[in-house]
Each structure stands twice: as structure tokens, then as C-alpha cells.
Amino acid sequence: MLMSGFGSALAPMNLTMAMLGALIGSLAGMIPGVGPTPAIAILMPLTTVLGPAQGTIMLAGIYYGAIYGGSTTAILLNIPAELQAVPVCLDGYPLAMKGRGGPALGIAAISSFVAGVLGLIGLVFFAPLLADQALKFGPAEYFSLMVLTLTVIVNLSGNSIVKGLIMGLGGYLCSMVGLGVASGHERFTFGVQPLSAGIEMVSVIIGLFAIAEVFHTFGERGVGARAPKIGSVYPGRSDLKEAAPAMLRGSIVGFLLGLLPGCSPAVSAFLSYDLEKKLSRNPGEFGQGALRGVAAPEAAGNSTCSAGFIPLFTLGIPSSPPLAILLAGLMIYGLQPGPTLFEGTGSFVWTIIASMFVGNVMLVVLHLPLVGIWVKLTEIPLRLLQPMILLLCVVGAYSVRNSMFDVLVALVFGVAGYFLKMGKWPLVPFILCFMLGPLTERSFIQSMSISNGSFSIFVENPIALTILIVAGVLFVTSLLLMRRTNLRLRNVQAAALE
């Protein structure tokens, strides 16, 4: 199946989409204020006119391209565009200041490639196994899975779990606008006729993640810093020998953590950095320009990203904000991520997986020679990009259903998203629950119908019970891991201020 996936992925159009997505993602990953989530959100309406495979290939390309791109500004400018790039700054920037920015960039790119490929190999073996088990799922199991997905909210809530839960509930609420799943009666329409068709997901995503982000960065000039001169970006043999063990360890750590629904790349990047420091014979060199300090977190973050596709494809659980948007993209194409994705549309899944292999190769070949151009592109003033992004968002929202009401929805959510971001309310729990709301409700109602209203169905069913227990354990583990990561972040910020 993988070989036929390669055959399909190497078709000219699919190859073009993979390259386009990877390059756009690289650029998006380098520009703070853009990043992979807004980039996927902005481009999603455009991909709806492509076929499901081409659109998903492009969106996935943006995701892993952004992982490559994020380390560039972290190393050269000490500006992490994404949270998982913060550990890379710790040693990457000191290396750049010592004139070793080129090898640092090279090691980061090679680490990303190695980790990406290892992660994808793991995806090839683990995903079908998990999908086979998941075929036994009934309504009770699906509902338990939705409860498990709520543990993801812990990692996506930032500093306040309560705010994350409120946002998640708000997402569920908005998903109920329209016709009820049980009886078909209108809910929450309040006499507004266009609302009877429900709220369009793309409009919500554009509003919350693109329009709100642009206004949130209103008045900012952009990167505003100049990168130091880069020499050769190809690391020497001794550099590779030094970094290789860290790359492999980071890849394994990142992959295992990425299997846990809800584990974000930032958590694995920090954990991997800490592990590398503990294992080092000379821990004092970390923070002063150790290549292993770049290799390990970069590999871990990338590996977690690849592994994150496993719970996404097999269980329909996204483990990071870009994957949550990608999940929305799959649903827009009429695909239901979860157990039936491999069963019913296996060729599609293997094409995506194969294109990710191809995309990783393309990135490591294209990224390094073009790094000078990438850095120049980050100097594009934000004030030039902002009106372009806003108009693209409006026209994009219109293009989904040729509906001005969808544009209004996008603008309203843009305003709401602006205030929510200012108040530090997490947005991803909202969109996650908005997407999963109908499935959660349907599963619950079906379970209650089967059991005549008894909750014992979730306890008597072994798979459902196991999932609920795992959800409880993951909830506590995620809380502890996030606290640890936030503490590390605060320490890093305090050290930077000194």
C-alpha cells in the first residue's frame, strides 16, 4: 500500500502541492505572527477547490515545512516563531553569535529530516495496527474517545485550564447551531434563516486564527532584526558525529511522546533538551552553543509532529493546533478521520504518508541552499502583509459556499478572536470541540439509546472503560508535563531578562 502511495505521491500535481506546501510552510514558520496554524487557516479555502489528496498534501506540507522554518529565526535571530523552537534558541543563537550559524542551521535541518523520516516509519507501522483495533469501536467507544480528546485541551489551554474548558464548551455550543442531530429541529437559530444550515467551520477558523492574529499583531513592524552573516550551512564530519546520537535520542523521545494524544511538540522539545543535558559529560556547555542542544529538541519536535498524525488518522484526535485545523480540512473534504479512514480510503492515507516522505526530502534539499533567501523574506514588513492577509481571508471565506453570510461569520469571529487573544483565552480548544461536537453528541445519544439511558454502557464495555481510564491518567500526566514546561519557559524568560 505504501508503494502505491509513493506512486500516487510522485504524480506531478501531488509533487507540486507537496513542494508548494513545504515552501509556504517554511516561510510561515519563520515569520513570527504567522506560523503554521494561521498559514493553514488562510490557505484552507483555496485548497477546497483541489482534490482531497492534493489539498491535504499541501496543508500537511505547510505543517512540517513550518517545523523546518521555525528553527531558522530561532538560531539566527533568537526569535522562536513557535513554542517548540524555544529550546533551539538556547544553543542555536549562541552558535550563530560565534559565527557557527551555518553548521547550526545544517544540523537543525538534518535533525528535522532524520526525525521526520523515523517518525513516518513509525507511522507506517503503528497506524494500521491502531486502525485495526479501532474498527471494533461502537458508539460507547467513540464517546469515550471524545472524552479522551478533551485531555488534549489541557495541553492546548496555556496557563488556565478553566479558560480552556470554557472555550471548549463554547465550541460545543457553536457546533449545535443549526439542526439537531436527533430530531432535526432547529437549535440556537433565533429566527436567523442562514443559521439553520449551521456555522461554516472554515469561516470560524479564518476568523479566529487568521483575522484575529492579524489584528493582534497590529502595529508590530515584524522581525526588525538583522541576522548575522552565515557561512557554509553544511556541517562538518565532526559536527555530524557530535550531533548524531542526540538526533536519534530526540527522535525516539519525540515519537513516543507524540503517540500520546495531546502531547505537543513543545513538551517533547523541552524534555529532549533536558535529557540531553543530563546525559552530557559536559552539561555546562549547554546554553553556550552546544550542537546537541540544537539537534535534540529539533529532532524531538519534528518527530512528535510526525507521530501526531497517528492519533489524527486512526482516532481523529489532533495533538496540536495545526493538526486541529488539518482535521477540519479532512472533514471539509468529507473524510472522517478515525478507524474508517484506513478502511474506506486507505489509498488516500498512504498517498499522504508517502508525500510526507517526499516532502521531507524536498525540504532538506531545498531549505539549506535557500536559507539566505528565507532570512531575507522574513524582513518583509508585517504592515505590507497584513492588508493582503485580511483581504485574502475575506475572499477565501466567501469562496467556500459563495456566501456573504460566511464572510460575516468570519469577521464576527475575527473580532471575538481579537478580544479573546488579548485576554489570553486559548482558541484551539474552541475549534477542537466545535469540530468534534456533532460526533460527541451523536455517539452519546446512540449509546444512551442502546443502553436505555444507563451510563453502565461505558463501564461494562472493556474498550470504552480502558479509554476512559487512559483519559484520566493522561489528564493528570498532561497537567504535570505542562506545569513543568511552563516553569521551564518562565525560567528561560527570566534568564533572558537578566
Binds another protein by CB under 8 A, chosen from 46, 124, 248, 377: 46
Tell me which residue has cell 528561560.
492
What DSSP string describes 72-121? HHHHHHS--SSGGGHHHHHHHHHHHHTT-HHHHHHHHHHHHHHHHHHHHH
Nearest distance in Å: CB 488, another protein: 22
The radius of gyration computed from the CA coordinates of the chain, to the nearest angstrom, equals 22
Binds another protein by CB under 8 A, chosen from 129, 365, 388, 459: 388
291: which 3 cell numbers? 550542537
Binds another protein by CB under 8 A, chosen from 361, 398, 479, 486: 398
Binds another protein by CB under 8 A, chosen from 130, 256, 275, 392: 392
| 129 vs 218, beta carbon nearer another protein | 218
108-126 core/surface letters (b: 16 or more CB in 10 A; e: else):
bbbbbbbbbbbbbebbbeb
Q: Taking the mean position of all CA atoms in its chain, how far away is CA 465?
A: 28
Nearest distance in Å: CB 455, another protein: 9
Under the binding rule (CB under 8 A), the answer on residue 126 touching another protein is no
Under the binding rule (CB under 8 A), the answer on residue 298 touching another protein is no
Using alpha carbons, select from 10, 4, 1 the residue that is nearest to residue 355: 10
Under the binding rule (CB under 8 A), the answer on residue 383 touching another protein is yes
465: which 3 cell numbers? 472503560
Under the binding rule (CB under 8 A), the answer on residue 426 touching another protein is no
Binds another protein by CB under 8 A, chosen from 408, 463, 479, 492: 408
Binds another protein by CB under 8 A, chosen from 3, 162, 373, 494: 162
| 11 vs 173, beta carbon nearer another protein | 173
Contact in structure between 137 and 342 (CB atoms under 8 Å):
no
Compose the 197-236 pattern: x for residues touching another protein by CB under 8 A, - for all others.
--------------x---x--xx-----------------
Under the binding rule (CB under 8 A), the answer on residue 497 touching another protein is no
| 453 vs 462, beta carbon nearer another protein | 453
Q: By CB under 8 A, which span of 27-35, 197-205, 309-317, 434-442 interacts with another protein?
A: 434-442
Query: What is the C-alpha to C-alpha distance for residues 152 and 138, in angstroms, rounded to an integer?
Result: 22
Nearest distance in Å: CB 215, another protein: 7
Tell me which residue has cell 487557516.
41
What separation in angstroms does the CA of 117 have from each of 46, 124, 251, 269, 353? 28, 10, 9, 17, 11
Residue 462: Cβ-neighbour burial (10 angstroms; 0-12, 13-18, 19+): exposed
Under the binding rule (CB under 8 A), the answer on residue 441 touching another protein is yes
Query: What is the C-alpha to C-alpha distance for residues 347 and 176, in angstroms, rounded to an integer?
Result: 33
Nearest distance in Å: CB 173, another protein: 5
Compose the 176-195 pattern: x for residues touching another protein by CB under 8 A, - for all others.
x---xxxx-x-xx-------
Nearest distance in Å: CB 274, another protein: 30
| 137 vs 434, beta carbon nearer another protein | 434
| 419 vs 495, beta carbon nearer another protein | 419
Nearest distance in Å: CB 184, another protein: 8
**Considering CB under 8 A, how many residues would be counted as binding another protein?**
53
Count CB atoms within 10 A of the CB of residue 190: 8
What separation in angstroms does the CA of 395 have from each of 44, 194, 245, 386? 12, 19, 48, 14
| 4 vs 159, beta carbon nearer another protein | 159
Using alpha carbons, select from 476, 467, 457 the residue that is nearest to residue 145: 467
Under the binding rule (CB under 8 A), the answer on residue 444 touching another protein is yes
Q: Is 384 left (phi over 0), alpha (psi -120 to 50) or beta?
A: alpha
Under the binding rule (CB under 8 A), the answer on residue 12 touching another protein is no
Q: By CB under 8 A, which span of 99-107, 125-133, 402-410, 459-467 interacts with another protein?
A: 402-410
Count CB atoms within 10 A of the CB of residue 245: 14
| 69 vs 168, beta carbon nearer another protein | 168
| 384 vs 494, beta carbon nearer another protein | 384
Count CB atoms within 10 A of the CB of residue 391: 10
Under the binding rule (CB under 8 A), the answer on residue 259 touching another protein is no
Q: Taking the mean position of all CA atoms in its chain, how far away is CA 385?
A: 23
The residues, any chain, with a CB within 8 Å of residue 294's CB and separated by 6 or more, are 71, 75, 88, 91, 92, 95, 104, 107, 108, 111, 243
Residue 280: Cβ-neighbour burial (10 angstroms; 0-12, 13-18, 19+): middle
The site for another protein (CB under 8 A) is made up of: 46, 49, 162-163, 165-166, 169-170, 172-173, 176, 180-183, 185, 187-188, 211, 215, 218-219, 383-384, 386-388, 390-392, 394-395, 398-399, 402, 404, 407-408, 411, 414-415, 422-423, 425, 437, 440-441, 444-445, 448-449, 452-453
